[in-house]
Amino acid sequence: MTDRPNVLSIVLAGGEGKRLMPLTADRAKPGVPFGGTYRLIDFVLSNMANSGLTKIAVLTQYKSHSLDRHISQTWRFSTLLGSYVTTVPAQQRTGKSWYQGSADAIFQSLNLVRDDEPDYIIVFGADNIYRMDVNAMLRAHIDSGAECTVAGIRVPRHEASAFGIIDSDESSRIRAFLEKPADPPGLPDSPDESFASMGNYIFNAGPFVDCLTKDAADDSSKHDMGGNVVPFFVDKGTAFVYDFTGNDVPGSSEKDRNYWRDVGTIDAYHLAHMDLVSVEPEFDLYNRKWPIFTNQPQFPGAKFTLRGTAEDSIVSSGCIISGGDVDRSVLSPDVVIDKWAKVEESVLFDHVRVGRNAVVRRAILDKGVKVEDGAEIGINREADLARGFYISEGGITVVPKGFHVYAQ
């Protein structure tokens, strides 16, 4: 065996995802489908697996059944060398309350740390779209001598007020962690840019456990990773920022290098799908050197009949395009588009049916939605609202799971 450090990876997957409603009405946010066949959590787990980090605990809480089932059916490593991916529900180990924040979720699960005795603990979120060599960040953390390292992505300073911002010096030491500041600080080497926190952290295990224990005893704390834990290490002078710009993932193109999207809103979620379908995609799902893993359903290949077409689109297995037209859209498995139907700039989940002469434009259709012959979605805002559909600020119409849409 090598003398490589013992690393425990923790994925925070207990978020409610209120801003993604109604897609999170029946599932946890990390369990929301993405890109045809994936779930949001597949991206962080793939990054860890591709980085050789194979001891992973996924902390769940909110409506976790769908997510738990996906992980148990998909994410199975060989146990011969101690690898595992395990879901850990809220267990009330420290009292009668559920998770009171991201830091509290880990504090309530410290039995995982005691059992595994890691040298380093990696804590990542579960609901962003990106590729990252996590091992490169770990090496940077060890080389810097930090006790806490936060991944930061460069954003234009005039847009930085929407993020948690990292103020660091020339040596990458963090001076302050600022939540959505009105006047974000620029970078030492680029005054017009700021570091936004990606919500990804690496800690030395001992100091991290000490911090969580002190935080749990503080009744005034919100028990938040960014708001309470990181400032603890900032005050000690042992927190550093890792510049995501320098993260080199094998097989990445110039266009999708350092791609990172927070898909926490319906508009961001839809836009991230549109990033997938261009000729030169903003995010390339077809990078074979750093694959995104998932459980592919057992369906035959997609079929096109009666001159059905799909342009600039992702069409998953089991789909039948029978005389309809699909443009700039993402179709999950077992979707049927009937004769003369039109689907434009839309995301269709599993088992959706779109009938003859129906129109679906700039919409997200959850699993099992049936659009009857001649029905229209995304054409008449008032009609969509009257049927109870959610419409985002950007004009994206969301049809909830299992809904039947009739012509009016």
Give the 3-state secondary structure of 231-300: HHHHHHCCEEEEEHHHCCCCCCCCCCCCCEEECCCHHHHHHHHHCCCCCCCCCCCCCCCCCCCCCCCCCC
pLDDT > 70 in the chain, percent:
97
Mean pLDDT across the stretch 151-175? 92
Mean pLDDT across the stretch 241-267? 92
| pLDDT value for 94 | 62
| pLDDT value for 301 | 94
296-405 has CATH 1.10.1060.10 classification: no
| pLDDT value for 1 | 44
Q: What is the rounded (10 degree) CA torsion for 169, 173, 179, 181?
A: 0
pLDDT tens profile 330-387: 999 999 999 999 999 999 999 999 999 999 999 999 999 999 999 999 999 999 999 9
> Which of 135-139, 163-167, 303-307 is predicted least confidently?
163-167
> Which of 38-52, 123-137, 156-170, 366-380 is predicted least confidently?
156-170
Mean pLDDT across the stretch 161-166? 89
Q: How far is CA 270 from CA 22, 105, 274, in A?
A: 14, 29, 6
> Which of 55-64, 195-204, 338-347, 371-380 is predicted least confidently?
55-64
| Distance from C-alpha of 256 to C-alpha of 271, rounded to nearest angstrom | 15
Provide the token pair at 169. Answer: 């010096």
Mean pLDDT of the chain: 92
Is the confidence at residue 164, as pLDDT, over 70?
yes
pLDDT tens profile 75-88: 998 888 889 999 98
Domain definitions of the chain by residue range: 7-267, 296-405
Give per-residue burial for 222-239: e unless 16+ CB within 10 Å, then b: ebbbbbbbbebbbeeebb
Is the confidence at residue 317, as pLDDT, over 90?
yes
| Distance from C-alpha of 301 to C-alpha of 119, rounded to nearest angstrom | 46
Global pTM value: 0.93
| pLDDT value for 2 | 57
| pLDDT value for 311 | 96
Question: What is the CA angle 86-258-331, rounded to 5?
Answer: 65
Quick check: bond before 118 cis, omega within 30? no
Find residue 165's DSSP bridge partners.
178, 196
| Distance from C-alpha of 128 to C-alpha of 140, rounded to nearest angstrom | 22
DSSP 8-state assignment for residue 171: T
Mean pLDDT across the stretch 177-187? 90
3-state DSSP assignment of residue 353: strand
Is the confidence at residue 93, as pLDDT, over 80?
no
pLDDT level of residue 64 (50, 70, 90 thresholds): confident
Helices 41-50 and 65-74: crossing angle in degrees, nearest 10, is 30
| Distance from C-alpha of 307 to C-alpha of 385, rounded to nearest angstrom | 34
Mean pLDDT across the stretch 36-57? 96
What CATH number labels 7-267?
A: 3.90.550.10
Q: How far is CA 97 from CA 59, 210, 213, 236, 331, in A?
A: 15, 21, 16, 30, 40
Provide the token pair at 46. Answer: 């793939």
| pLDDT value for 92 | 65
